[in-house]
Chain A
Amino acid sequence: MVSPIYILILSLAAGFLLSIIDRGGRKISLAVFYGVLAFNTALIIDWTYRFVFLHAPTLVINTAGFSAPVSINLELGMIQAFVLVFTNLTGLLAAVFLFRKFMESKVSSLILYLLLVMSVNGLVMTRDLFNMFVFLEILSISTYALTTITRTKTSLSAGFKYMMAGSVASIFFLMGVVFVYHFTGNLNLDFIHADQFAGTGLVALFMLTMAVFIELKPFPANGWALDVYQSVDSGIVSVIAVINSAAIGFVFYRLIPLMPQSFLTVFGAAGVITFFFSNMMGLKQKNAKRLLGYSSIGHMGLLMASIVFTIGAPSTVRYLIIGGFFVNHLVAKAGLFWLSGIVRQENIRGWAVLKNNRLLLVLFGVFIFALSGFPPFAGFWAKWEFVKVLIESRMFFVLGAVLTGSLFELIFLFRWLTITVKEDETQLEKITTPDSGSVFATSVFALLATVVAAGVMKYFYNFGWVQTLPAAAALIVYLLDFLPSKLKGFVSLGAVAAYGYYIYPLLESNLQLFFGVIFIVGSAINIISTLNRKNQNRGFYGFLLMMIFSFGNLLIASTYLEFFLSWEFMTISSFLLILRGQKAQRASLLYMIFSTAGAYLLMTGFSFAPALTSTSALMLSIEFVKLPLISVIVLAIGFMIKAGSVGVHIWLPEAHAEAEADVSSFISAILLKAGVLGLLMVAISCIAHAPSFPVFYWIGWIGVITALVGAFMASFQEDAKRLLAYSSMSQVGYVVAALAMITHLGWVSALYLAFNHMMFKSALFIAIAGVYYRTHTRKMYEMGGLISRMPWSYMTVLISIIAVSGVPPLSGFGAKWLIYTAFITKGWYLQAGVLFFASAVSFLYLYRLIHAIFLGQLKSEHQEIKEAPAWFIIPQYIFLAGIMVLSMFPNLMIRPLNSIAMHYFNSSISIEGLTVVSDLGYWNGNFVMHITMAIFAVPFVVLLLLRGKTQRVKQFNIVYAAERPESPETTHVAYNMYAHYRKALGGWASPRIENFWNGVAEWSHTLGDFFRRVYTGNGQTYILHIIMYIVAIYVVMGVK
């Protein structure tokens, strides 16, 4: 048990002697240097272990043989140890990162660095205000000097601006300390109390706290910091952004008990404002390090806000929030700054070079996800708890600003990530083999982020292994990614089966089982089509398994948090899968932005919800929860984003179209159902606890309009996958509308349609995947006549579109019959009419699909084309078989659905043998099937007999009126097929919703650009900002 004062002693002694030691050779001085840093870290880790596991009491160290307040004392408790563990570790690893620099530069840089880390330890431990000032100055001076360790064109002037700002802050700090002594007669924090600052004393406290706050870089008095982040050496910047900020943030944290409420409110608000604006300003930023600077400043603001606004929360929650934000920022920011040192590209577009180095790319991804607050990383938990605290204390403005700011941050971070993954890197200079030290340090931090995440999940929330399974699966497959794709595919299939076997007994109700079949069985069949992939196919099956497992986890989640965790895992994995598409940069970004906005709404909605009393799955226990109106609205919107409802659907066509062909089927057939599931859960809660406003009436309308808009949009597409995407949107619109009725028949039909949609949309997407695999085009007018070359695929599409369109005899008919019956019994006649119209429109696009691709003339380049590979055909026919069976025996599905709905409502249908009877009539699928088959059989036989008289239409039977046109395919009937309908729609066909969202995007970028003009680059102006900021805050706080 070594006293932590030895950190100071050893560092100082080594620091003083290093220049002498260095005369014996740099190797020796480096050994001493790293030895001391490692000693400090080890010592603090030891103490943290004592505090956490052995419950050691807080350690107080007196100096000079006197106790406080006569002498200066140091304090090391759990919190200090926590801060110091991370700062020392960062200090050590940043030094490892800088190894080459330390090898080459003067010994001075070693001394400065060592004493910088020492001063942070002193600053965190000391209880004496003036001693804080001294350590703060040690910290500042060593940092100022270290900013010049790598001289660039701009680093000197940035360092000078930093000094100007820092010296003004330190003058105020000094004044504050001295006036505090004047008013209280003490300098030791243990002996100073908030009530000693009545009247004029508040001015003293103001100066003290304000000086610390200025060092934390509040907007807009922080231009100097941005310049430093942009221009100073990456290793040193990581120290400034992380270690300095942490130490000063901790000083602020410790001054909190002295501050009156007026101070706290203003500082908290200033923190939130900083977070909001710096993220908004980051939107326009192209320079990677400056972007990280904006993000760092924002995160310090968030940290301050969380320190202030969680004062009323239970202490464990409070520590989780503050600690979570702190660790998250520290690890991710240091990691990203180090990466910027390795990549050496100023513009974010240049980061595409990371593609050449898989490890670095993965590290980059980990840090971006961590920084954006995705699970399992610490920021996720902190944000979740913070939102809860904010809602409990009814701080809605803060909530809004925090979530909007987070969304801005997400946008620029993911724009960066997607550009890095998708931008062409061939023009760029490759990364010169990076230092092993740099890569090591960065990797350790990614690992640290993961370890912290695991710790939080295990020790704070007591999650079981299933909750972490999605992330674990991704990790394991990443490690095994060198295996050939087919092997991984079969193993994944096995894993999904095993997972299904595991969760089957956990599914207590038919409802869960129903979605279990969609999620797990549907996914398993879809996996077959991926077996066609060749080579190693890296980074696919991990994310796929992650997505499938998180679907399943949604069903067994028993708390809001577990549900939301799985939801976010699902978002991450589906995003990464979409990102794999060749031109998916914009599509995946759009998906991410909308998904995250939805996730924030869910987070808000769940936080408003009352606590759960049951331990069964959330899907079931939600029945007994009375969701407040706001919660219902917010949750419904959040889930409808995932379900692609009109207004928030614009991610949907992009994502479906640009994802890889075999991924689209997962997204459309299965992922959209997760949104349906969520909406259903909200509806379940609303059965017994109808909200005061008819939310679901309007959701019903949204569903209906979605169905109509989707159908129209689908008709106007040239791109087959886009067409199917809009078709999915339209179909899910039906499901949403049917759900929204909250009646027995409504739900039976909604679930029936959902299941059908899963089958026929899987079949269609896989069929189109097969066609794309052979033709390499998605444009329908570039195809045609493929019936002769790809008859199996043709059959799939034919059967599926019959099922979609809802004509007899296939299962779609039953679905439509049920829906209209439900609407009419509910009395929603107008809605039923619109839906009926939408159904008519859907004939247009379905016809277009089959006509343009399979009928008509075969293109000359497709003469020799082959049928799609078997791996595509097999799953299609499994789904087709399902459709046929359900068409023949619809009661196989109706019966369980009836029982599911009967749990919530009185049954409105009866099932007699093969017939379903409702108030309005009956439907016997089996009978319909036989009749229709007979009707079809007659002309088929006739045609067969007349076969000899058919005449083949040849390529040159087509005659052009004039010359051969430039691009003949545009004269094809399949090109712009429904132009006349489009014309008839007039202004209604213009993409209003897309224009609206584009406008939102443009406005936020313009605003961000407007505000960042305050950073003129002139150091003097920055000082002016600081002084004016101090004066303004003084006035706002009303200190007298």
Chain B
Amino acid sequence: MISISMLSLILGIALLITGIFAMLTRKNLIRIVIGFSIADTGTHIIIVSLGYLRGRTAPIIDRAVNAADAVQKVVDPIPSALVLTAIVIGLAVTAVMLSFVVEMYRKNRSLSIDDYQELKW
């Protein structure tokens, strides 16, 4: 039987590749940014799925988890910590990217990436 972490790993990878596919094929700048966002989300899912341990709970020591045998009861806290950072960074990058798009549109009135290739060779 396929485990839930395996499933989410595959899902994450699928999202990642889908996002990159979108970045490679969509002409619209906003869609390209969305593509990045999808790919980024894929990575977040992958991170979380790597930290999962079957049958365990969140790494918070409260009534559900006894302090004494916490190590046996909780999932890996590191990926959870990392994914939080990764999400925030992804958000920041998306914000800057979008403002680029806004400015490019303001300047050139076009959202097609094909209209931005005057620099070459």
Direct contact of A and B (CB under 8 A): yes
Q: Which of B51-89 contact A (CB under 8 A)?
A: 78-79, 82, 85-86, 89
Other-chain contact of B104, A157, A227, A1020 (Cβ < 8 Å): A157
Assuming A163-B96, A163-B97, A171-B43, is B23 touching A1012 (CB within 8 A)?
Answer: no
A928 an interface residue at 8 Å Cβ cutoff? no
Does A507 sit within 8 A of B, measured CB to CB? Answer: no
Contacts of B100 in A (CB 8 A): 144, 148, 156, 159-160, 163
Chain B residues with CB under 8 Å of chain A are: 16, 20, 23-25, 27, 29, 32, 36, 39-40, 43, 46-47, 50, 78-79, 82, 85-86, 89, 92-93, 96-97, 100-101, 103-104, 107, 113-114, 116-121
Residues of B within 8 A of A154 (CB): 118-119
Which of B23, B82, B118, B121 contacts A164 (CB under 8 A)? B23
How distant is the Cα of A181 from the Cα of B32 in the complex, in angstroms?
30
Chain A residues close to B by CB (< 8 Å): 130, 133-134, 137, 140-141, 144-145, 148, 153-154, 156-161, 163-164, 167-168, 170-171, 174-175, 177-179, 181-182, 187, 223, 226-227, 230-231, 284-285, 1012-1013, 1015-1020, 1023-1024, 1027
Partner of B93, one of A141, A156, A226: A141
Complex: chain B residue closest to A1013, CB-CB: B121
Q: Smallest Cβ distance from B20 to chain A, in angstroms?
A: 7
Contact residues in B for A1012 (Cβ distance below 8 Å):
121
Q: Of B25, B43, B113, B121, which is within 8 A of A1018 by CB?
A: B113
Chain A, residue nearest B23 (CB): A1023
* A-B contacts besides A137-B92, A1023-B23, 17 pairs, CB < 8 Å: A137-B89, A141-B96, A148-B103, A156-B104, A157-B104, A157-B117, A158-B119, A160-B29, A160-B100, A161-B116, A171-B20, A174-B43, A178-B46, A178-B47, A1016-B120, A1017-B121, A1027-B20
Does B107 lie within 8 Å of A156, measured CB to CB? yes
Question: Are A178 and B50 in contact (CB-based, < 8 A)?
Answer: yes
A1012 to B120, CA, bound (A): 9
CB neighbours (8 Å) of B101 from chain A are 160
Query: In the assembled complex, which residues on chain B have CB atoms less than 8 Å from the CB atom of A1018?
Result: 113-114, 116-117
Known contacts A157-B104, A181-B78: does B32 contact A164 (CB below 8 Å)?
Answer: yes
Specify which chain A residues have a CB less than 8 angstroms from the CB of B32 in the assembled complex: 164, 1020
A1017:B113 contact, CB within 8 angstroms? no
Q: Which residues of A contact B24 (CB under 8 A)?
A: 1020, 1023-1024, 1027
Contacts of B47 in A (CB 8 A): 174, 178
Q: With A130-B85, A137-B93, A1027-B20 in contact, do A1015 and B113 touch (Cβ < 8 Å)?
A: no
Cβ-defined contact, B119 with A230, below 8 A: yes
Residues of A close to B119: CB separation below 8 A: 154, 157-158, 226-227, 230-231, 1017
List residues of chain B with CB within 8 A of the CB of A140.
Answer: 93
Smallest distance from the beta carbon of A1011 to chain B beta carbons, Å?
10
With A137-B93, A174-B86 given, is the CB distance from A160 to B36 under 8 Å?
A: no
For residue A167, which residues in chain B have a CB less than 8 angstroms away from its CB? 36, 40, 93, 97
Q: B97–A1020 contact, CB under 8 A?
A: no
Least CB distance, B49 to chain A, in whole angstroms: 10
Contact A141 B116 (CB under 8 A): no
User: Which A residues are CB-close (under 8 A) to B97?
Assistant: 160, 163, 167
- How far, in angstroms, from A174 to B48 measured CA to CA in the complex? 13
Answer whether A168 and B20 are a contact pair too, CB < 8 Å, given A157-B119, A163-B96, A1017-B119: yes
Chain A residue nearest in CB terms to B40:
A171
CA distance A923 to B23 in the complex (A): 87
- 5 A-B pairs with least C-beta separation: A1017-B117, A1017-B120, A157-B116, A227-B119, A1018-B117
A156 touching B92 by the CB < 8 A rule? no
Cβ of A171 and Cβ of B116 under 8 Å apart?
Answer: no
Give the distance in Å from the alpha carbon of A230 to the alpha carbon of B27 in the complex.
24
Task: Tell me, in angstroms, the Cα distance from A171 to B46 when the chains sit together.
Answer: 12
Chain B hits for A157, CB < 8 A: 104, 116-119
Q: Please, could you name 29 A-B residue pairs with CB atoms under 8 Å apart, sorted by A?
A: A145-B96, A157-B118, A163-B96, A164-B23, A164-B32, A164-B36, A167-B36, A167-B93, A168-B20, A171-B16, A171-B20, A174-B86, A178-B50, A179-B50, A181-B50, A181-B78, A181-B79, A223-B120, A226-B119, A227-B120, A230-B119, A231-B119, A284-B121, A1017-B117, A1017-B120, A1018-B113, A1020-B27, A1023-B20, A1023-B23
Q: Which residue of B lies closest to A162 (CB)?
A: B100
CB distance from A826 to the nearest CB of B (A): 57
In the complex, residue of chain B having the shortest beta-carbon distance to the beta carbon of A131? B85
Contacting residues, chain B, for A161 (C-beta < 8 A): 116
Task: Verify B113–A175 contact, CB threshold 8 A.
Answer: no
Q: How far is the CA of A134 from the CA of B88 in the complex (A)?
A: 11
**A229 closest partner in B (C-beta):** B119
- Closest B residue to A1014 using CB positions: B121
Please tell me which one of the listed residues A168, A170, A1017 contacts residue B118 in the complex, with CB atoms under 8 A apart. Answer: A1017
Say whether B113 contacts A1019, CB under 8 Å: yes
Of A133, A285, A1016, the residue contacting B117 (CB under 8 A) is A1016
- Set of chain B residues within 8 Å of A179, measured between Cβ atoms: 50
Residue ID in chain B nearest A1012 by CB atoms: B121
A226 to chain B, nearest CB (A): 8
Which chain B positions have C-beta within 8 A of A133? 89
Q: How far is the CA of A156 from the CA of B115 in the complex (A)?
A: 12
Task: Say how far B61's CB is from chain A's closest CB, in angstroms.
Answer: 18
Tell me the minimal C-beta distance from B28 to chain A in angstroms. 11
| Docked CA distance A568–B27 (Å) | 53
**Contacting residues, chain A, for B114 (C-beta < 8 A):** 1018
Report chain A residues within 8 Å CB of B107. 156
B117: A residues at CB distance < 8 A: 157, 1016-1019
Distance in Å: Cβ of B80 to nearest Cβ of chain A: 12
Inside 8 A of B78's CB, which chain A residues have their CB?
181, 187
* Chain A residue at minimum C-beta to C-beta distance from B78: A181
Residues of B within 8 A of A148 (CB): 100, 103
Residues of A within 8 A of B85 (CB): 130, 134
Chain B residues, Cβ within 8 Å of A223? 120
Question: Do A160 and B116 contact each other (CB < 8 Å), given the known contacts A167-B36, A1020-B32?
Answer: yes
**Is B121 touching A1015 in the complex (CB atoms < 8 A)?**
yes
Smallest CB separation, A3 vs chain B (Å): 24
Within 8 Å CB of A137, what residues of B? 89, 92-93
Residue contact B93 to A170, C-beta cutoff 8 Å: yes
* C-alpha spacing A130/B82, complex, angstroms: 8
CB-based nearest A residue for B86: A174
Query: Closest approach, in angstroms, between the C-beta of B83 and any C-beta of chain A?
Result: 9
Of all chain A residues, the one with the shortest Cβ separation from B29 is: A160
* Alpha-carbon distance between A635 and B39 when the two chains are bound, in angstroms: 56
> What residues on B are CB-neighbors of A230 within 8 Å?
119
Chain B residues whose C-beta falls within 8 Å of the C-beta of A145 in the assembled complex: 96
Judge whether A134 and B121 touch: CB under 8 Å: no
| Closest chain A CB from B3 CB (angstroms) | 15
Asked if A134 contacts B89 (CB within 8 A), the reply is yes
| B118 CB to nearest chain A CB (Å) | 6
Residues of A within 8 A of B39 (CB): 171
CA distance A133 to B92 in the complex (A): 14
Q: Which residues from chain B contact A159 at a C-beta distance below 8 Å?
A: 100
Contacts of A164 in B (CB 8 A): 23, 32, 36
Q: B residues within 8 A CB of A1024?
A: 24
Residues in B whose Cβ lies below 8 Å from that of A227: 119-120
User: How far apart are B46's CB and chain A's nearest CB, in angstroms?
Assistant: 7
Q: Report the bound CA distance from A226 to B114 in whole Å.
A: 18
Most chain B CB within 10 A, of A130, A167, A181, is at A167
Listed residue (B32, B113, B118, B120) with the most chain A CB atoms within 10 angstroms of its CB:
B120
B103 CB to nearest A CB, Å: 6
Closest to A154 in B: B119
Q: How far is the CA of A1018 from the CA of B113 in the complex (A)?
A: 7
A177 surroundings in chain B (CB, below 8 A): 82
Give CA–CA (A174, B85) in the complex, Å.
11
Which chain A residue has the least Cβ–Cβ distance from B94? A167
Within 8 Å CB of A285, what residues of B? 121
Q: Which of B40, B97, B101, B117 has the most CB of A within 10 A?
A: B117
Q: Which residue of B lies closest to A186 (CB)?
A: B78
A130-B85, A141-B92, A164-B32 known; A175 and B43 CB under 8 Å? yes
